[in-house]
């Protein structure tokens, strides 16, 4: 596979930002600005596919702190691929399902 330079713009949120910051600096370097619950990252990283880069970065961060979330945009050649934490999606979808079940139980049976 051909390695390309991806531009990463990401928000990394964690239950323990101080624990992941040193690893984040080691893995990505670049500009890392602290936020209320994590860091904002802007850097360039080499890789073959944005999906693989995103997966490896999130996995490495979660080895240090399990409750770490990554929302990232990887850009190469004018094309941007956006990734968000799939666990957040599942939690959000679960909340909608619970609300729909509640509606069915309360309004569906008369």
- Residues 83/72, Cβ–Cβ less than 8 Å: yes
HSE of 62, CA atoms in CB hemisphere, 13 A: 13
Residue 36: per-residue pLDDT: 86
Q: Which domain holds residue 33?
A: 4-85
Of the candidates 80, 4, 9, 62, the residue with the CA atom closest to the CA atom of residue 39? 9
106 in any annotated domain: no
Q: Could you tell me if residue 48 is inside a domain?
A: yes
For residue range 41-85, what is the model confidence (pLDDT) as tens digits? 999 999 999 999 999 999 999 999 998 999 999 999 999 999 986
Whole-number Cα distances in Å, 5 to 19, 50, 53, 54, 78:
27, 10, 11, 14, 12
> pLDDT tens digit string along 13-44?
998 889 999 999 999 989 999 988 889 999 99
Quote the pLDDT of residue 56.
94
* Count of structural domains, the chain: 1
pTM of the model: 0.74
């Amino acid at each position: 596979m051909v390695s390309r330079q991806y531009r990463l713009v990401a928000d990394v949120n964690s239950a323990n930002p101080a624990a992941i910051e040193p690893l984040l600096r080691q893995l990505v370097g670049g500009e890392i600005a602290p936020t209320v619950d994590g860091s904002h990252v802007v850097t360039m990283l080499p890789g073959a596919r944005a999906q693989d880069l995103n997966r490896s970065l999130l996995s490495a961060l979660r080895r240090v702190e399990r409750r770490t979330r990554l929302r990232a945009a990887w850009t190469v050649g004018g094309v941007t691929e956006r990734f968000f934490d799939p666990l957040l999606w599942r939690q959000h979808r679960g909340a909608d399902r619970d609300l729909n079940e509640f509606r069915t139980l309360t309004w569906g049976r008369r």
